[in-house]
Amino acid sequence: MTMRIVTMLAALALAFATSAVTDHPTRAQTADPSEPPVTSEAFVDAADATSAADCCGNDPDEEVADESDEAQAVDATADDDLRARLTPLQYYVTQENGTERAFDNAYWDEKRAGIYVDVVDGEPLFSSTDKFDSGTGWPSFTRPLDSDDIVEHEDLTAGMRRIEVRSAGADSHLGHVFPDGPEPTGLRYCINSAALRFVPAEELEEEGYEEFRSLFD
């Protein structure tokens, strides 16, 4: 009697264990046999791919390199255009922060009425109404036509402290400004002729600068 009870209990335990396995299959048992198993190596490969590409699926390093190459190509083209349009002296002064010779330049002794524009982009910068003889051998002005068109930077080159003057539009090096000019400003904008182009008063309308004609009426 006791042996029959033990045998029956063993049979019930075996049936229960088999049922548990059948009712709760593992992830491997439910996987499509046609698909390869997912391994840790697959997750590593996926992580590497994500880190090497941005959200758009592009390699960020490659994209930056391409943009950098394009920017360099644009800069090179612009520089070639400037070299073609400017004389060597004009390029040296405006692009390389050079200085022309005193008393040996186009406008140091210019006395005609008119305005002076940036030789690079034609932006109006100075007027003959503000020009004076500083005795330095360079064109000198008490003020610009519009202070917004001038940018000033501290210049510590040549063993001295000076204030460099550049054009706001084309970023051309123009010269320097000093606090030793005449009234009404007390300033002396000492400018390289090579950075300027002179437009006579009688040609302002023709050149597209008619808004400055009233300065000379």
Angle at CA of residue 90, ends 86 and 94, nearest 5° = 110
Residue of 113, 83, 111 whose CA lies nearest to 95 = 83
55 given a catalytic annotation: no
- Run of H or E residues at 46: helix 40-52
Q: Are strands 150-155 and 114-118 parallel, antiparallel or unpaired?
A: unpaired
Catalytic residue of the set 165, 190, 194, 201: 190
Residue indicated by tokens 């300065």: 215
Q: How many CB atoms lie within 10 A of CB 201?
A: 19
The rounded distance, in Å, linking the Cα atoms of 199 and 143 is 18
Relative orientation angle of helices 60-85 and 88-96, to the nearest 10 degrees: 140
What element of type H or E holds 22?
Answer: helix 2-23
72 token code pair: 């360099």
Contacts of 134 (CB under 8 A, 6+ apart): 140, 181, 188, 190
CA 120 to chain centre: 19
Catalytic residues, by residue number, are: 190
